[in-house]
Chains A and B, each alone.
Chain A
Amino acid sequence: MTTKLLTALLLGTSILGSAGVANAADVTLNIESWRGDDLAIWKDKLIPAFEAKNPGIKVVFAPSAPTEYDAALGAKLAAGSAGDLITCRPFDKSLELFKKGNLADLSALPGMENFSPVAKSAWQTDDGKASFCVPMASVIHGFIYNKDAFDKLGIKVPETRDEFFAALDKIKADGTYIPMAMGTKDLWEAATMGYQNIGPNYWKGEDGRAALIKGDQKLTDKDWVAPYEELAKWKPYLGDGFEAQTYPDSQNLFTLGRAAIYPAGSWEIGLFNTQAQFKMGAFPPPVEKAGDTCYISDHTDIGMGLNAASKNADAAKTFLSWVASPDFATIYANALPGFFSLNSSPVKMADPLAQEFVSWRGKCKSTIRSTYQILSRGTPNLENETWVESANVINGTDTPEAAAKKLQTGLDSWYKPAK
């Protein structure tokens, strides 16, 4: 008898309890994301900071696995069960969602004026008229090096390509360290950390990228083949069996102190800081001769948009305006060193390695990865082919010219530049 009464009481309180919660929270916003790694940062830093300023709006960060994100999001949007806020992949994936009417137009959102046109380019229609995601972060490519190793061998940070290869030769001759930690097994390392890292110096950043999209330049031109020629020269400096070396292998080789130079993206900083037991430094991709203008890949990576079907659009817009504010940028960039804010107002960062990376924005010209905008829309997909061919060039299965020719032929088969 008493148990029954107790059960009834408990049931009653649970119903009343949940009703009470529902009344107290006026609006709850759900964020869709693939960045499960950032869960703690959102829960402990970003969301409390926002909720403190905006009482009445609750925010829930609900990530799914990176490989499942796009498919899961598509299904949820179709079923009408997706969150109010949607973390945007750069370029075509998000553009497609916008065209389907899943993402709202945010061109007029207060706060959008804080971003440069290059920053917004990843989430705009091709004509640049409508923006549909607030840019959150970019990643910068360069080389991270083991400072202890450089000091021990008396190598100074290379600025030109000749110095770079001289440094590699010296490390190789010494034999203590593997000169460069990179493998071709996962393919994308060769393309992203290799080709897209050193390439902008050859094709002159945005100039070359724009000319490629306009059809004025071809991938078989000297400026686009030359990075492959340099990549082919990396082969002797990679570790034994690099053909079967995966991305986590490369990370471990470097953080265990067995390799001296790591062709990197700035997203590694957070992980490397916690794992490496030695001092690290970074340098931008070397230029041909000292004093040349340098170009870096400062690739727009994450944005956030508004689900057009959201029932809480006003609250969601308040949140997005906050995402566009310098406040958000400061918390985000410091919590995630290596993901740099795209906000025009400079953000103070505490991490020295992150500072080094972001300082290149001042002296070098920024560009984004050449294959991402427009050029990867058809079949064969230029980005995926670039992965395969970059690995082939380093493995020595394709010459730089043959690789470039394959890529251009593939591109020509579907891409007709607008004249």
Chain B
Amino acid sequence: MAADTRPKRPFRWHVGVFLAPAVLVYTAIMILPLAGTLQLSLFRNIEQHQVFVGLENFRTLFGDPNWSVNFWNALRNNTWFFIIHMLVQNPIGVMLAALLSSPRLRFSAFYRTAIFVPTILSFVIVGFAWKLILSPLWGVAPHLLDLVGLKSLFTPWLGKEEYALTALSLISVWQFVGIPMMLIYAALLSIPEEVIEAAECDGITGMSQFWKIKLPLILPSIGIISILTFVGNFNAFDLIYTAQGALAGPNYSTDILGTFLYRAFFGFQLQVGDPNMGAAIATMMFLIILGGVCVYLFLVQTRLRRYQF
């Protein structure tokens, strides 16, 4: 009987009210533009009118060698860009975090700040600074190599087809290594003391403690970092643009999806921009990133859960 007399719970308006700002802002600046891009990619400008053409733009992108060669080249370069980050940036980030979290290290706050500083620098500064450092004419790189007698190793890296992309990837690694370092550092600090003590009681110390106890516990963070790196790399544009220009030379060897999209969408020099083809490329980038994130969420993260507390 008590249930009948209990007043019916009123509709909770405040939930909607509190959600509204975030939903509205997110819709206005994320969902609408995304939908707009997807829509734009299905149209084509024919005699000053936007005409619906279905998947015709995508057929051009993959079927017309003038577009497809550039697209696959950009995708390949982008993948290499990502691989370098995964192989260099993240292991170094983990290593730095492990060193920083060691209680015996002095000045760790200073190192932490120093390594993190490049991350907050503008791309433009990083691009121009490294262009100058590596410049064969005025750069310090040739001089420094000369001091240790390795001048012969110097080549104009940013101007050589075979090295330019790797050089730029490493510059990007230099800039962003602070982010994995910080995230892993936080994860390492959050490992409960009891776990470590229990490990010590069992005689697991030093390196083997890192490999057997800490690393498995920070794997979820490494997973998050990988996915952040993946999204960041496949959206990258600024560094290549400031260092190599929109044509991503030499001979398109540093062209990634971002620069390819920029040229198609906005045009470059005499090339008039084609927003529809640009939107088609943007859609492909969206799908690639979506695919990567899904693979991570459904295949990797579900397995990682086991290690979480």
Contact = CB atoms under 8 A, between A and B. Distances in A.
A299 to B, nearest CB: 12
A384 B270 contact: yes
Contacts of A96: 272
B297 interface: no
A186 B245 contact: yes
Given A71-B266, A246-B131, A392 B245 contact: no
B270 A91 contact: yes
A7 interface: no
Given A92-B270, A381-B271, A384-B271, A245 B251 contact: no
Contacts of A244: 134-136, 156-160
Contacts of B48: 99-100
Nearest to B155: A241
B269 A253 contact: no
B269 A383 contact: yes
A382 B158 CA distance: 24
A242 B137 CA distance: 9
B252 interface: yes
Interface residues of A, number: 45
Interface string B243-270: 0110101111000000000010011111
Interface in A62-110: 70-71, 91-93, 96, 99-100
B66 interface: yes
Interface string B103-135: 000000000000000000000000000010011
Contacts of B244: 185
A219 interface: no
A142 interface: no
Nearest to B167: A244
A265 interface: no
B67 interface: yes
Given A380-B66, A387-B247, A388-B247, A243 B160 contact: yes
A372 interface: yes
B67 A391 contact: no
A96 B249 CA distance: 28
B161 interface: yes
Given A383-B269, A383-B270, A243 B156 contact: yes
Nearest to B274: A379
A245 B272 contact: no
B137 A249 contact: yes
B247 A242 contact: no
A184 B250 contact: yes
Most B CB contacts (10 A, CB to CB) among A100, A249, A379 go to A379
B159 A184 contact: yes
Contact of A93 (B64, B157, B252, B272): B272
A187 B252 CA distance: 11
Contacts of A383: 269-271
Contacts of B274: 379
B103 to A, nearest CB: 45
Interface residues on B, range: 20 to 34
Most B CB contacts (10 A, CB to CB) among A183, A244, A397 go to A244
A220 interface: no
Contacts of A397: 161, 250-251
A391 B66 contact: no
A381 to B, nearest CB: 4
A388 B272 contact: no
A213 B66 CA distance: 21
A245 B270 contact: no
Nearest to A253: B137
A92 B272 contact: yes
Contacts of A92: 270, 272
A241 to B, nearest CB: 2
Interface in B27-64: 48, 64
Contact of A376 (B247, B251, B270): B270
Given A243-B160, A245-B159, A380-B66, A388 B134 contact: no
Contact of B250 (A249, A372, A395): A395
Nearest to A379: B66
B156 A241 contact: yes
A187 B249 contact: yes
B136 A384 contact: no
B178 to A, nearest CB: 27
Most B CB contacts (10 A, CB to CB) among A243, A253, A414 go to A243
Contacts of B160: 243-244
Nearest to A186: B245
A207 B262 CA distance: 36
A62 B272 CA distance: 24
Interface in A218-258: 239-246, 249, 252-253
Interface in B183-216: none
Contacts of A377: 272
A387 B136 CA distance: 22
A339 to B, nearest CB: 19
A160 interface: no
Contacts of B272: 92-93, 96, 377
A359 interface: no
Contacts of A398: 251
Interface string A334-353: 00000000000000000000
Nearest to B267: A70
Contacts of B137: 239-241, 245, 249, 252-253
12 contacts: A100-B48, A184-B249, A185-B156, A187-B249, A245-B156, A246-B131, A249-B135, A381-B270, A382-B270, A384-B269, A387-B249, A392-B250
Closest CB pairs A-B (n = 7): A241-B136, A243-B159, A244-B156, A244-B159, A241-B156, A381-B271, A376-B270
